[in-house]
Amino acid sequence: MATVILESAPFAEAIVKVSKEIFDDNKNCLKELAVIGMHTRGVFLAKRIIAQLHKLGGKELQIPFGSLDITLYRDDIDDLGSDMPTIKETEIPFDINKKNIILVDDVLYTGRTIRAALDVLTSFGRPSFIKLAVLVDRGCRELPIEANYIGLKYPSKKKIKVCCKELDNIDQIVVI
């Protein structure tokens, strides 16, 4: 049974909130800012955050966007059985050296995905810093990793699923 914990309107508000926090926090270094979304839904969230940042920063602000897939960097490949995950494109069309990276994912849980993402990013170069933005933090960390920007804190032992209009025809967050 899926329970909706965040409807479409507050979903949008959460993104606005996170974007505002990112903007305020990085006011002094907006030129070096870049947003990278993690496959699959983090990519859509990252695009929306960039749109918000552009709104806040005005015409002259152009924030580079990248997408990132962690499949080859997972630490649980042996446990996946015969169903290997499809590898998606990692596209970072800019030099990440000395950039200020905002990494975007939908749900923060064990922290293992983020650990893998950090490995992917460092294989591209050496950014000035990497900060993490997530829509939901469901707790239960297995690694010492925390998000800098959080849309919704919702500690939960149950699986949380983020739905995006772009993929699921609706914006909402549900507990399964």
Q: How far apart are CA 159 and CA 161, in angstroms?
A: 7
Examine residue 73 and tell whether it contacts other proteins (CB under 8 A): yes
Examine residue 122 and tell whether it contacts other proteins (CB under 8 A): yes
Q: Output 9 or 72, the one with its CB closest to other proteins.
A: 72
The residue from 19, 52, 90, 100 that contacts other proteins (CB under 8 A) is 90
Q: How far apart are CA 69 and CA 72, in angstroms?
A: 8
The residue from 1, 3, 59, 86 that contacts other proteins (CB under 8 A) is 86
Q: Output 90 or 100, the one with its CB closest to other proteins.
A: 90
The residue from 7, 91, 146, 168 that contacts other proteins (CB under 8 A) is 91
Q: Which two tokens stand for residue 86?
A: 């499809």
Closest by Cα among 73, 39, 32, 34 to 50: 34
Q: How far apart are CA 37 and CA 135, in angstroms?
A: 12
Q: Write down the H helix ranges in 26-172.
A: 41-57, 112-122, 165-168
Contact segment (CB under 8 A) with other proteins among 8-16, 25-33, 73-81, 164-172 equals: 73-81
Q: How far is the CB of 169 from other proteins (least distance, A)?
A: 22
Site for other proteins in 7-66 (CB under 8 A): none
Measured between alpha carbons, how far is residue 166 from residues 8, 44, 65, 72 in Å? Answer: 13, 7, 17, 25
Examine residue 141 and tell whether it contacts other proteins (CB under 8 A): no
H/E stretch holding 108: strand 100-108
Q: What is the binding site for other proteins (CB under 8 A)? A: 69, 71-74, 76-79, 81-91, 107-110, 112-113, 119, 122-125, 138, 159-160
